Structure 1
Amino acid sequence: MVRRVRLVYAEPVLADAQDDAEDGSTGLWRAAEAGRPAGADRARVIRGLGGLSVLAGVLVALVALPAMCLTGVGARDAAHWFQSEPEDLDTAGVPQRSRILAADGSTIATFYYENRIDVRIDQVAPIARRAVLAIEDSRFYEHGALDAQGTLRALVSNLDSGQVTQGGSGITQQYVKNLLLTTSQSTEEQRAAKEVTAARKVRELRYAAALERRYSKDEIFARYLNIAYFGGGAYGIEAASRYFFSKSAARLNLPEAALLAGVIRYPYAYDPERRPGAAKDRRDTVIRRMAQLGWITRAEESAALRRPLGLRVHRTPSGCVTSTAPFFCDYVQREILTDPVFGATAKEREKLLKRGGLTIRTTLDRRTQKAAQRAVDRHVPRKNSARKAAAEALVEPGTGEIKGMAVDRRLGSDKERGKTWINFAADASHGSSIGMQAGSTFKAFTLAAALEDDMPFGTRLMAPRAFTPSGFRDCEGRPLKSSERLRNSADGEGGKRFSLVTGTHHSVNTFFLVLEREVGLCETVKMAERLGMRQADGKPMEQYPSFTLGFNQVSPLRLAAAYATFGARGRHCEPIAIKQITDPAGKRLKVPSANCRQVLDKGVADAVNHVLRGVLTKGTARGMGLGRPAAGKTGTVDNFSAAWFAGYTPDLAAAVWVGDPRGGYRHPMTSLCMDGRCYGPVFGATIPAPIWRDSMVGALAGRPASGFHRPPSHYFSKGSGEDRVELPDVRGLEVAEAIAKLRSAGFRARIGAAVESGEYPRGRVAEMSPGPGRAEPGGTVTLRPSKGDDAAPPRTPEPSGPPGPGGPGGPQLPIPTIPPVQRPAD
């Protein structure tokens, strides 16, 4: 018979404490080695071990002895069970932190439940490895899963005292304990991992034996170093080294390594920040132990003991609040938390982000983001006196990549002025914003629908001073009636005819209402949808005659992506923020696609670009050019409740919103004064366009300028669509001189067949078509040179002045000799 032994585990309550560390049992080991008299029961137990052939079986039988006696399980059965491979041993699933990276690889934000960075054993300084081994398990590379020598000594002591006072656990067993606790998925599993029972201890020993068979010593040691808690929210030696010393574990020196090694046993008791005295004493214990083992010299020991702690704490916050691109970061976070591609449930997706150790490479361009944030903050300061807000989204044409996203707020509770959780630049699914009315920026969709219907630039329509909608049908064919009289904005234009070009440049409301009726409301709506537009809440856009005036609530991001389609010559891409995601093993995860496709004929897009370029040179946003080919459209919402500008080059598109988060209709911008600067009524060109210009100039600085393509010629069949100007009379001039004069007046020229003329010398312009008078700029004038006699005097234009010198009836002045002008290159 064997005396029953009551197992009382002298373990700390803290789950992270390494209770069985070598140094913690040194005094007890020495007591056993000193030859303390053993009782008869102890002797009987040890003699009973002689019949076992496997040392592991002996040890587990001894450890599990009380439980086995109670259940009737034999020692040989226990040994067989102990050596079998556990089916429930899973070493995966250890939480690791995820990082969101910009396009250049720099870190935007970090997410974690446990701040952990896994490293290989060769990425930890050798001195740090020796420090941990010295204080935790100096014989780790000499024994197996169970340290026979240490465990037998512990058992002798435990049996003699009648309770478990020593552990003797090595690094492998400590790793197992941490692994079981870290990978617990429920409260029950966590309780089981920490319970003070013989069953838990036996299970840990069995798992340790299995791990020793499965992995090399170096791999087990690396896993231990990566899972252990070091305090300060740092899990694993790499995160701990970066937290306490702002350096990687590969660069740790002796005092730093000893401090971290000493912390492992009781991270809270030896916390270097809160208990520096205790931490230093513990560090010195490790240093002395290393010298005792002969792993450092006495001189190194003495020098290290004199060193201060030398902390350089660097905290790594979790989440987007402190990010340099907080709203873009929040967009990426919501992308992962809401898209089923990252998990079937919200809980699974959150677990993947905060435990999965993901490397999330994004589309964010640091230069673009910096330029956008600077522009937004400059024109609408974060804590401005008028409490207005601004948001901008920037998208790359042809790829859909979001290059920047700026809001003039900090990410946080709106209870604190200058902060908000709402991302005004994004849809509700990615920022909680319900969107904002986009105003006249929607006129571009009506323009695109008209051009797709092959309507020439010179098509002219009467724009009444007021417009009562009639003759409209939605996409279901239902007639839409309204008694509301729609008028033009404060510029007062109306009551005359406009072309597609001039109506767009001046953003005439009633012109676009007439144009929308001409091309069809449904065609306009479908054009916007093809370009990716939908309401910010995800619902389809509402269809009313005032659709072209932009009453639907949308986000800057959607609008920027739509205008990017024009810049990409009709190729639309869904906006994307994530380019690639890899897990800790380097495996790529599936990410949302931009789903790029041609939704608009290239020629139609070229025509849209041609018209919208004039908005920046002669329209509502004149003076807002970039010094390179660019196009755009202003937007002023009814009652000045908000203002927009959307613009683009072939390389970058952006949309800017300025308004009041408290409600634009309750707080309109009719006479805005902000931080000592007054604007009066705010149009799209007042604040949004300057934000756009400053952002684009900064983002594109140093990049070669890309140009737009010339629209197909049939769009010029009714002229350029520009307002008529004076066409100069070039008859009698040398051909090259005539061409230069026409070009300077905004016209194009071509050379026709020569004609008989007795009025003009050979080679001079005899006829021009159309003739002198008022014409649309950009039109083509055909010049026909004379076949006449070289001696014939050239004709000079009839003077319009009164009689006198040089006038009718006055003296004839000699004709000056003008050197020939070379024809300029096309």
Structure 2
Amino acid sequence: MARPGTHRLPLLLRAVPVVAAAGVLVAALLAPVAIGAGTVLARASTGVGATTTGILDRAPDAATVVTDATGAPMALLYRRFRVPVGPAGIADTMKAAIVAVEDRRFYAHDGVDPQGLARALVSNAVRSTPLEGQGASTITMQYVKNQRLYTLADTAEERRAATADTLARKLTEVRLAHRVEDRLDKDTILARYLDLVYFGRGAYGVEAAARTWFATSAADLTVPQAALLAGIVRAPATYDPIDHPDAARARRGQVLTAMTEVGSLTPAQAAVARAAPLDVVPDPALPAEGCLAAREGTGFFCQEVVDRVTAAGLDLATGGYTVRTTLDPRVTLEAREAARDAVDADDEVAEVVSVVAPRPDRRPVLALAANRAYGDDSAAGGTMLPITTAPLRGAGSIYKIFTAAAALERGLVTPDSELDVPERYTATTFDDAGEDYAVENLGTYDDEMTLERALAESPNTAFVALLDRLGSVDPVVDVARRLGLRTTLAAPGPGGRPLAERVRAAEQASFTLGPDPTSPLDLANVAATITAGGTWCPPTLVARVTDRAGRDVTPPPPPCEQAVSPEVAEQLRRALSEDHVDGTAADAAEDAGWDGSMIGKTGTTQRSASAAFLGATDRYAAAVMTFSLDAPEPLCADPVRTCSDGDLTGGSAPAETWFDLMTPWHRGTDASPEADEDED
């Protein structure tokens, strides 16, 4: 019976007495046809064993739901809109209606109704009428046909064979129906059929139909609603209640009459249901599908999840999975608002924010947000570029972190070591295509400063000189990869060569100044690795994937690694602790009222074509990048825009966004968003 809240009927699903089947007559009727078509019988038997396995064990395609960390849906993915719910998820009203109109002897036969089949075979043989009529197909046989059509058929030829009006197809269905009945109980067969069959307007299965036609669930269908849906099954286009309301109402009446005839309804109950309006939704439509239709502000995160899970081998469009992500809805909302406050979405400039939790044993991604929408309408500020995760623009002087880390690992410096800071420096170990490689500082600095001060004030010459002391760019590239720059360094460039390979081969000294395209998510994870004692963990967007049976099928992430020793990580934390105090991010920190401890580093590329800020506390690690969307162009600040002579820096819009976002979260525990609560 239906669970509480569904419509119970006193006589619902009453077993219908079996009319005595004339076995001898059926055998006599079947014999001439079979004898005259021995090859048909042989053809019908071929492959039945293999097909039986698919009919019984292969699940039909179903929609996948993607949720945030709280379990709230943010996107649906499907090829056909189907949401299987099983016997417990379907109201008794619906079960009674479909049995009454499609197969009133369903609970008594063994998968084949001899009377109906005999009528159909004789009529087909004598008058060439279609085999589908006159009760030839039981619900079990219809389940077999629909399973072959929607689940097993991969080609147009296989789909034609599954619906061909031939004796061979009908006899195949008879054999398969018997095997289904041998393995499954009646309630399971009925639910599988209702979860599979087409109800019009793109709705496959009764749950999808209930949502599409009535904005309700299959478990809560009323008698008139169930009767309407049961009537639609026979010919969804003919009985479409929007396009053909009179035909739909008449068909619903036929179903209600059938329900009274079999005892599922009393005449009085049927009369009440017959008088009810069709009451379907005015404009029935399928729910929006895919990440383009994801909940506002979650599209970039959704697409990254889909790409990663699909790459792991799961078909989200057909698998019926539940993908619970690590996305924190509050962090995402506030990150998006901060980016939009900083950079107008109508201009051709993107500002992106990637936020991860720097846990020592895993690295959940809490937000991938941007001032722009995820979408294909560029005029409305949309873009489908993976701007929050892909390496599109440079991060500038943030890369000086990697040169510092390599020097710290080799014991060449400590945070307190004094570095020379000449106005101009010509490298002794590196060149620029055969010419001297020389850099100049863009501001005025002391002649000497500690590594800690150098990272805060960011003079170029001190870090190229430090790279000279290392003697090669290899250790810098290596530590950059270990700390988290993995997508960035693996990204292919000209000729398909990864960035790491190109930088190493060319001994590219400019690597320490960060001109190369960089993933914002990679940057956030670099900060998290340093904060987490030097432990790198893969940035994880998926907390759990379960299949339709509730089994955990989460693709396993790569294991965490000790990227640098805890001692080097602590030295890096100390060396990066002054940028917000009296370094390049100090003004942004002061304006936001920041008074906590943190690590931070700004970065700006040549001509201000892009700018970035990386920062982290023990609770959050985040990177903010600002860049022109279509092509590298100079950017100006106040307001942020493309211009002919850029002046945007990492200490302006990117740092301002970071501190505007983080300051309220660290002002007190009551005001701070909760970290994601994804289950282990």
Q: TM-score range by the shorter chain?
A: 0.7 to 0.9
> Cα gap change, 1:155/1:441 in structure 2, threshold over 3 Å: closer, same or farther?
same
> Cα gap change, 1:87/1:447 in structure 2, threshold over 3 Å: closer, same or farther?
closer
RMSD: 3.2
391, 395, 399: which one aligns with 2:352: 391
Answer yes or no: is 1:270 the counterpart of 2:257. no
Residue 97 of structure 2 aligns with which residue? 131
Q: Is the 8 A contact 2:588 2:652 kept in 1?
A: no
657, 660, 672: which one aligns with 2:625: 657
CA deviation string 1:743-776 (max 9, x = no partner): xxxxxxxxxxxxxxxxxxxxxxxxxxxxxxxxxx
CA deviation string 1:216-271 (max 9, x = no partner): 11111111011011112111111211222222211111121112111111111222
In structure 2, what residue type is equivalent to 1:537? A
Distance 1:497 1:693 in 2: 29
How far is the alpha carbon of 1:132 from its aligned partner?
Answer: 1.4
Answer yes or no: is 1:334 the counterpart of 2:307. yes
Tell which deviates more after alignment, 508-517 or 231-240: 508-517
How far is the alpha carbon of 1:153 from its aligned partner?
Answer: 4.0
583, 587, 596: which one aligns with 1:619: 583
Distance 2:435 2:671 in 1: 46
How far is the alpha carbon of 1:415 from its aligned partner?
Answer: 5.2
Q: Is the 8 A contact 1:576 1:592 kept in 2?
A: no
SS in 2 for 1:483: strand
Distance 1:676 1:438 in 2: 17
Residue 71 of structure 2 aligns with which residue? 105
Matches within 5 A, 1:256-405: 256-312=225-281, 313=284, 315-324=286-295, 325-337=298-310, 339=311, 341-342=312-313, 352-384=315-347, 387-397=348-358, 398=360, 399-405=362-368
SS in 1 for 2:448: strand
SS in 2 for 1:353: coil
Residue 462 of structure 1 aligns with which residue? 420
Q: Is the 8 A contact 2:490 2:499 kept in 1?
A: no
Distance 2:405 2:47 in 1: 73
Q: Is the 8 A contact 2:546 2:554 kept in 1?
A: no
Q: Is the 8 A contact 2:482 2:563 kept in 1?
A: yes
> Cα gap change, 1:700/1:67 in structure 2, threshold over 3 Å: closer, same or farther?
farther
> Cα gap change, 1:502/1:220 in structure 2, threshold over 3 Å: closer, same or farther?
same
Kindly indicate which of the two structures has a greater share of residues assigned to helix.
2
Tell which deviates more after alignment, 61-70 or 277-286: 61-70
> Cα gap change, 1:416/1:198 in structure 2, threshold over 3 Å: closer, same or farther?
farther
Residue 452 of structure 2 aligns with which residue? 501
How far is the alpha carbon of 1:163 from its aligned partner?
Answer: 4.6
Distance 1:698 1:247 in 2: 41
Gaps of 5+ in 2: 1-19, 493-497, 673-680
SS in 2 for 1:470: strand
Residue 535 of structure 2 aligns with which residue? 571
SS in 1 for 2:545: strand
Distance 1:300 1:676 in 2: 70
Answer yes or no: is 1:668 the counterpart of 2:634. yes
Matches within 5 A, 1:791-810: none
171, 180, 186: which one aligns with 2:139: 171
Answer yes or no: is 1:552 the counterpart of 2:506. no
How far is the alpha carbon of 1:359 from its aligned partner?
Answer: 1.9
Residue 255 of structure 1 aligns with which residue? 224
Distance 2:619 2:645 in 1: 31
Answer yes or no: is 1:188 the counterpart of 2:157. yes
Tell which deviates more after alignment, 676-685 or 232-241: 676-685
How far is the alpha carbon of 1:483 from its aligned partner?
Answer: 2.6
In structure 1, what residue type is equivalent to 2:478? K
How far is the alpha carbon of 1:700 from its aligned partner?
Answer: 6.2
Tell which deviates more after alignment, 206-215 or 151-160: 151-160
Distance 1:83 1:441 in 2: 67
Distance 1:670 1:85 in 2: 71
CA deviation string 1:702-742 (max 9, x = no partner): 64899xxxxxxxxxxxxxxxxxxxxxxxxxxxxxxxxxxxx
Distance 2:47 2:610 in 1: 72
SS in 2 for 1:119: coil
Residue 633 of structure 1 aligns with which residue? 601
203, 214, 217: which one aligns with 2:186: 217
SS in 2 for 1:355: coil
Distance 1:307 1:699 in 2: 54
Matches within 5 A, 1:730-809: none
> Cα gap change, 1:373/1:673 in structure 2, threshold over 3 Å: closer, same or farther?
closer
Matches within 5 A, 1:123-162: 123-155=89-121, 157-158=123-124, 161=127
How far is the alpha carbon of 1:71 from its aligned partner?
Answer: 3.5
SS in 2 for 1:354: coil
Q: Is the 8 A contact 2:48 2:172 kept in 1?
A: no
SS in 2 for 1:467: strand
TM-score (norm. length: structure 2): 0.84
In structure 1, what residue type is equivalent to 2:104? S
Distance 1:549 1:577 in 2: 30
> Cα gap change, 1:228/1:703 in structure 2, threshold over 3 Å: closer, same or farther?
farther
> Cα gap change, 1:107/1:702 in structure 2, threshold over 3 Å: closer, same or farther?
farther
In structure 2, what residue type is equivalent to 1:436? R
Structure showing greater relative contact order (alpha-carbon pairs closer than 8 Å, 6 or more residues apart): 2
> Cα gap change, 1:644/1:536 in structure 2, threshold over 3 Å: closer, same or farther?
farther
Distance 1:320 1:170 in 2: 40
Answer yes or no: is 1:197 the counterpart of 2:166. yes
Q: Is the 8 A contact 1:636 1:684 kept in 2?
A: yes
CA deviation string 1:181-224 (max 9, x = no partner): 11201222112112222111111111111111121111111110
How far is the alpha carbon of 1:167 from its aligned partner?
Answer: 3.9
Q: Is the 8 A contact 1:361 1:578 kept in 2?
A: yes
Residue 116 of structure 1 aligns with which residue? 82
TM-score (norm. length: structure 1): 0.70
Q: Is the 8 A contact 1:229 1:235 kept in 2?
A: yes
> Cα gap change, 1:138/1:405 in structure 2, threshold over 3 Å: closer, same or farther?
same
Residue 404 of structure 2 aligns with which residue? 447
Distance 1:116 1:552 in 2: 45
How far is the alpha carbon of 1:314 from its aligned partner?
Answer: 6.3
> Cα gap change, 1:98/1:546 in structure 2, threshold over 3 Å: closer, same or farther?
same
Which structure is larger by alpha-carbon Rg, 1 or 2? 1
607, 613, 621: which one aligns with 2:571: 607
Matches within 5 A, 1:27-38: none
In structure 1, what residue type is equivalent to 2:293? T
How far is the alpha carbon of 1:158 from its aligned partner?
Answer: 4.8
CA deviation string 1:314-363 (max 9, x = no partner): 632221001121011111111133x3x41xxxxxx5xx221121222222
Q: Is the 8 A contact 2:309 2:555 kept in 1?
A: no
SS in 2 for 1:471: strand
Gaps of 5+ in 1: 1-32, 34-45, 343-348, 428-433, 474-478, 707-826
> Cα gap change, 1:359/1:164 in structure 2, threshold over 3 Å: closer, same or farther?
closer
How far is the alpha carbon of 1:402 from its aligned partner?
Answer: 1.5
Q: Is the 8 A contact 1:480 1:544 kept in 2?
A: no
> Cα gap change, 1:582/1:63 in structure 2, threshold over 3 Å: closer, same or farther?
farther
Distance 1:379 1:64 in 2: 82
Residue 207 of structure 2 aligns with which residue? 238
Distance 2:609 2:377 in 1: 21
Residue 438 of structure 2 aligns with which residue? 485
